[in-house]
Amino acid sequence: MPCGMGCQALDTRAGRAQRAGMHFKSDNASGVPQEILAALGAANDGFAPGYGDDALMGRVRAQIRDIFEAPQAEVFLVTTGSAANALAIASHCPPWGAVFCHALSHIEMDECGAPEFYTGGAKLMLIAGEGGKITPDALADALARGGVASVHQVQPGLLSLTNLTECGTRYSPQEIAALADLAKARKLPVHLDGARFANALVAEGCSPADISWRAGVDVLSLGGTKNGLMGVEAVVFFDPARAWEFQLRRKRGGHLLSKHRFLSAQMAAWLEDGLWLRLAQQANDAAARLEAGLNARRDARLRFARGGNMLFVDLPRAAHQRLKQAGAQYYLWPDHASPDGPPDIAVTGRLVTSWNTMPRHIADFLSALGPQDQHG
């Protein structure tokens, strides 16, 4: 029996997802689980203090401190990953600073220069590396090249890592620590773009602290949006020294919401009872299923070791064309790859699964791939 307008809409689990079909473009194309809508409803309780002074934000802060075993941590919410990254970086890197990051990182490739804008013109120092990962040798080399104390060059500012990486691979805590140690030896702070932090975390099976501050991360962009929220990201300062500066930068950037409780409510529900981990596990499981199906084919070749919920697969162009015709949605990689050309030449597809990717989405996709091509 319906309770009135809106109630049916909440019932997303049952029947909606299948309608959307084979959607592997991005985990940010998915919606939110019922718990998040419910939390919004519960938070819609008359008047409340704004701008982060809501009681729910206190709860979020306590949750993060508890989950990350970081009683000093400061936590702030914003609505996009670009804002989380750019504000976190700007709070740790001066305008004349160099941001050491992977050449494929989101901050370089997909934020229209947000880090440059927020820092006042810092320079991203791009480091190449297989599978979206920076190796200690590559970082050491970049630091040697870019780390001269000279007034003529931008000065070492910050190391920014991404986990999961843009290629869907994963850093272990040990790998992060090895990179962070090199940065710390230069007194550089370490930022982690964790748009898919939860996916990395559950795949790694370690504690949140192990793969963040214990490995040397100073400030974390903890992504919620790609993992079940409407547009909520937490910035976690394990060292609170820069927290006040961050708050001023956030306001000045137009990222402090007056009705902040609606961000807090989502984040609190997401962190509650491990919902965020379950959602990430669902996405990773879907990717594992897809991986297995692709591995069973002669004409498919996975490009990188799967770290969580993202795959890059080389397929004959003909196979891609069949998939597209069947309605499968995903990006070619890199962006400017062309879907046109000889059918037997492989192109690369980026496939991202979400918390609400269903087994039948995977099955439909694998089936739409069709017969295995000869020249895969």
248 or 345: CB nearest a second copy: 248
CA gyration radius, the chain: 21
Please answer whether residues 250 and 89 qualify as being in contact, where contact means their C-beta atoms are separated by less than 8 angstroms: no
Instruction: Please give the Cα distance from 60 to 24 (Å, whole number).
Output: 30
Among positions 58, 113, 136, 274, the unique one binding a second copy when judged by CB under 8 A: 113
Residues 29-48 that bind a second copy (CB under 8 A): 29-32, 34-35, 37-48
Among positions 62, 65, 121, 184, the unique one binding a second copy when judged by CB under 8 A: 121
Binding mask 49-88 for a second copy (x = CB under 8 A): xxx--------------------------xxxxxxx-xx-
Residues 181-220 that bind a second copy (CB under 8 A): none
In three-state secondary structure terms, 314 is strand
- 111: Cβ contacts below 8 Å, ≥ 6 apart: 82, 85, 86
Instruction: Please give the Cα distance from 10 to 150 (Å, whole number).
Output: 58
Among positions 177, 217, 257, 323, the unique one binding a second copy when judged by CB under 8 A: 257
25 or 184: CB nearest a second copy: 25
Q: Which residue has the tokens 């708050």?
A: 247
226 or 350: CB nearest a second copy: 226
CB of 108 to a second copy, least distance (A): 8
Residues 216-255 that bind a second copy (CB under 8 A): 225-226, 230-231, 245, 247-255
- One DSSP character per residue, 139-181 reads HHHHHHHH----TTSPEEEEEEEESS-TTS----HHHHHHHHH
CB of 33 to a second copy, least distance (A): 9
Residues 125-154 that bind a second copy (CB under 8 A): 144-145, 148, 150-154
In three-state secondary structure terms, 78 is strand
Binding residues with a second copy: total (CB under 8 A) = 105
